Structure 1
Amino acid sequence: METSSPRPRAERARQVADVLRQRITAGAFDDGPLPDEHTLGTQLGATRNAVREALGLLRAEGLVERRQGVGTLVVHPKYGHGLDRLVGLAEALDGYGDVVNEVRSVGIVTPPPATAERLGLVPGAPAVHLERLRRLGGVPLSLDTTYLTADIGVPLLDHDLAGRDLFALIEETSGRRLGRADVVVHAVTAGPDTAALLDVAPGTAVFALDRLTHLDDGRPVDAETLHIRADRLTLRATLHRGPA
């Protein structure tokens, strides 16, 4: 950071906000309020004005809030979900608090043609559809919409879909191991229905994570879309550079 820079104030504030956001998501301020503006400026090598504007950006994101007599606090801690290992979201959040799944719908359906194609199903073949609203610490975290091939999904219908992780149930009931998943992450704005379920304002930016999970023999069996509150989760990965 720079204390005397000719660059526009908005640019300096953005850079300070980027550093603060990284520290917040790493858990640096989970135990209390952020330091005051002067202290933050000293720590970050930034002017007090730049820090003040950066905190305004983070408040607009819903990441922090100002409380009279207390200071600036993290609104909700962000939880990390690694993208370099195949685990369910509940598995990734183990130890962070109580994860509760509300099963909003479940049943045997004819999937949309595009979904059937992803799962390698012939047109008109049945699949199991499951939609769950996930809460962590009582606050909505994600809305998960899943289509499973019938041979994998039907045996799950007699199990605890509210209390169990889906990946663990698939391996338990099928006797097969999951092998890999193809993942694409989009930044989208929440429509009215999604926003109401996730308890955010319509138009709020959320993660849309599309995941196609395969058994260890390569067969796709689980196509899902997760809408995740971006103010509550960070997506992390460790990447290794190899040959081109």
Structure 2
Amino acid sequence: MAAEPAPVRRLRADQARRVADVLRHQIHAGAFDEVLPGEQELAAEYSASRNTVREALALLKDEGLIDRVPKVGTRVAQRKYDHGLDALLGLQETLKGHGTVRNEVRAAMHVTAPPAVARRLGVAPGERVVYLERLRHLADLPLSLDLTYLVPDIGTEVLGHDLETTDIFVLLEQISGQSLGSADLALEAVSADPHTASTLEIPDSAPLLMLERLTRLDDGRPVDLEYIRMRGDRITMRGSLTRSTPEWKVI
């Protein structure tokens, strides 16, 4: 039997980060109604010192997830909303049950498609497409800034509908008579530029989740190209993944 490797001395900051990661998940999962367990209880649960637990809680406080109130304890300050990565849903469908999604339509017009947009939507170079810009709120909280390019035939009909309370995905299916089939997406972290930060009511350079998504109808036709900036402090991206048969099992 191989000897176990010698234990590596870990810095308290490393241990605090480990505790904070698990606590963060518990907060998002609703494991705590309002108040977190005390430091001594957390220290026993995570086999950590109270100083390590304090550092972990300080990390979560800096993220805005918790408040530490004297003589009251550590309270959950805010929760994030889950946004799935394994289903093709609009924001209203995603946040169903959390409140009313309202769209502030900042632009809705025909524009000449930039060459890269035209290629991805499968339209001719220089063709005019429909461009939408929407600031999306959950109740009074601004959650995302969505920039959308739509193919001209379907997009022109979209302009005649209620864009303040209806998801674009719903309109695409109603107008085309088809279901949406698939989407290619890329997700990355970006810093909020001053204008976007002001629009979303967050500090300059605050972290954003930037989602680029090209959506197709069930017949494979691309119809919707979106660039969505979501508040990193209020949205968590989640999905369920499966692994294909690994090579070592095939050989």
- 1:34 equivalent in structure 2: 36
Quick one: which amino acid aligns to residue 97 of structure 1?
Answer: G
Report how far residue 68 of structure 1 moved: 4.2
Question: Please, what is the CA RMSD of the aligned residues?
Answer: 1.6
Quick one: which amino acid aligns to residue 142 of structure 1?
Answer: S
CA distance 1:75–1:111, change in 2 (3 Å) = farther
- 2:55 equivalent in structure 1: 53
- Please list every run of at least 4 consecutive aligned residues from structure 1 whose deviation after the TM superposition is greater than 6 angstroms: none
1:63 is aligned to 2:65: yes
Quick one: which amino acid aligns to residue 94 of structure 1?
Answer: K
Quick one: which amino acid aligns to residue 164 of structure 1?
Answer: T
SS in 2 for 1:158: coil
- 1:113 equivalent in structure 2: 115
Written as runs of structure 1 = structure 2, the 5 A alignment for 1:93-104 is: 93-104=95-106
- 1:146 equivalent in structure 2: 148
Select 2:28's aligned residue among 3, 25, 28.
Answer: 25
Which of these two proteins has the greater Rg computed from alpha carbons?
2
- 1:216 equivalent in structure 2: 218
Q: TM-score, normalised by structure 1?
A: 0.93
- 1:81 equivalent in structure 2: 83
Q: TM-score, normalised by structure 2?
A: 0.91
Return the alpha-carbon distance in structure 1 between the equivalents of residues 146 and 30 of structure 2.
26
Quick one: which amino acid aligns to residue 137 of structure 1?
Answer: A
Quick one: which amino acid aligns to residue 20 of structure 1?
Answer: L
- 2:240 equivalent in structure 1: 238
Quick one: which amino acid aligns to residue 21 of structure 1?
Answer: R
SS in 1 for 2:89: coil
Written as runs of structure 1 = structure 2, the 5 A alignment for 1:189-204 is: 189-204=191-206
SS in 2 for 1:103: strand
Report how far residue 69 of structure 1 moved: 4.4
Report how far residue 156 of structure 1 moved: 0.9
Q: Are the counterparts in 1 of residues 91 and 101 from structure 2 also a CA contact under 8 Å?
A: no
Report how far residue 43 of structure 1 moved: 2.4
SS in 2 for 1:96: coil
- 1:15 equivalent in structure 2: 18
Tell me the matched-pair count. 240
After superposition, give the CA deviation of every residue in 1:84-133 in whole Å (9 maximum; x if it has no partner): 11111221110011211111111111122211111112111011111111
1:6 is aligned to 2:15: no
After superposition, give the CA deviation of every residue in 1:118-157 in whole Å (9 maximum; x if it has no partner): 1112111011111111111321111111000011111111
Return the alpha-carbon distance in structure 2 between the equivalents of residues 96 and 44 of structure 1.
32
Written as runs of structure 1 = structure 2, the 5 A alignment for 1:112-191 is: 112-191=114-193
After superposition, give the CA deviation of every residue in 1:2-42 in whole Å (9 maximum; x if it has no partner): xxx8310110111011111111111222x212222222222
SS in 2 for 1:52: helix
SS in 2 for 1:86: coil
Name the % identity.
53
Report how far residue 44 of structure 1 moved: 2.3
Q: Which structure 2 segments of 5+ residues have no match?
A: 1-7, 247-251
- 2:4 equivalent in structure 1: none
